């Protein structure tokens, strides 16, 4: 009879494409893992993996088997979460993904409040780009993720809890820094620097400003808002940052000016994304409540 352990081991091999790494991930010996998978293939009557001394490949039928296995494991996890959901809210461990343009600005405000209100709550944070987190939520590798919308989240549920606008940041004394607002037309002449491609904030800025991608300065490839601010301080150009990051990035630099972007908003929306059949929505709702309170405080 096929066991959950066999399915777990097979999915570990699919993830790593390496039997030794999969065994380490599963906390068993490589020989035990190999034996379990050979038995699984024997029970199913198909070959899931092609392996030799150098590489592991998933067969065509193996991909179909592993997709079924993944769905089974997700259903088992949902069953376990259903039981856990009967306990007190935020009384069991959760893993939440957060994108880099939210993580360092939300967590310092959120975590102390969570610690005070839910001292037994065990929260693990995974910081990564949106497309990675969406995939992890879909696969059941994490419970939920905090993203900036709009972003493709096909098949997932999104629960919005915050909206915000962008602010243009430049050295004081630069043209337009005495204004209360700045238009996208004026930004065309401001040597605008954005995050490198792959970061959703870049796409949100370009969409809010109705700017073509090549309008932004492409010579740097920054991967964090803090790096962009340091470049502005070095008189290398200007940038746009979300309202959430204003306190952490601007308040300590008196030489910087922040001007509201005069374009229809909100410029980005913040939401939790989760699987539609996720059973612990009450815990997500509790997290959303704390997030709202900390961001409006």
Model confidence pLDDT, tens digit, residues 151-197 = 999 999 999 999 999 999 999 988 899 999 999 888 888 888 998 88
Facing residues of 261 across strands?
A: 182
pTM of the model: 0.71
* Structure confidence by residue, pLDDT tens digits, 223-245: 889 999 999 999 999 999 999 99
CB half-sphere exposure, 243, CA atoms < 13 A: 14
- pLDDT score at 231: 92
pLDDT score at 214:
47
User: Which domains, ranges and CATH numbers included, belong to the chain?
Assistant: 4-84 (1.10.10.10), 94-163+268-296 (3.40.190.10), 166-261 (3.40.190.10)
């Amino acid at each position: 009879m096929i066991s959950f352990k066999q399915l777990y081991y097979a999915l570990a091999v699919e993830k790593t494409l390496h039997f030794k790494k999969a065994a380490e991930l599963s906390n068993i010996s490589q020989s035990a893992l190999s034996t379990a998978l050979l038995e699984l293939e024997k029970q199913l009557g198909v070959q899931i993996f092609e392996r030799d001394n150098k590489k592991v490949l998933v067969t065509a039928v193996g991909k179909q088997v592993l997709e079924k296995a993944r769905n089974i494991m997700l259903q088992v996890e949902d069953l376990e979460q259903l039981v856990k959901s009967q306990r007190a809210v935020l009384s069991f461990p959760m893993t939440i993904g957060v994108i880099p343009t939210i993580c360092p600005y939300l967590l310092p405000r959120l975590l102390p409040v969570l610690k005070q209100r839910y001292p037994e709550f065990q929260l693990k944070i995974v910081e990564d780009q949106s497309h990675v987190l969406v995939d992890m939520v879909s696969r059941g590798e994490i419970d939920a993720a905090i993203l900036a919308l709009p972003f493709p989240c096909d098949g997932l549920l999104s629960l919005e809890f915050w909206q915000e606008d962008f602010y243009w940041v430049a050295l004081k004394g630069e043209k337009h820094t005495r204004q209360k607002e700045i238009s996208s037309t004026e930004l065309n002449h401001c040597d605008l620097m954005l995050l490198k491609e792959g970061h959703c904030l870049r796409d949100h800025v370009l969409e809010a400003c109705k700017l073509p991608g090549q309008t932004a300065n492409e010579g740097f490839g920054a991967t964090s808002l803090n790096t962009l601010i340091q470049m502005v301080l070095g008189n290398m150009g200007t940038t746009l940052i979300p309202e959430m990051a204003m306190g952490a990035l601007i308040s300590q630099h008196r030489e910087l000016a922040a001007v509201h972007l005069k374009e229809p908003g909100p410029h980005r929306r913040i939401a939790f994304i989760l699987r539609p059949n996720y059973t612990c929505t009450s815990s997500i709702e509790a997290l959303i409540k704390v997030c709202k309170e900390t961001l409006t405080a």
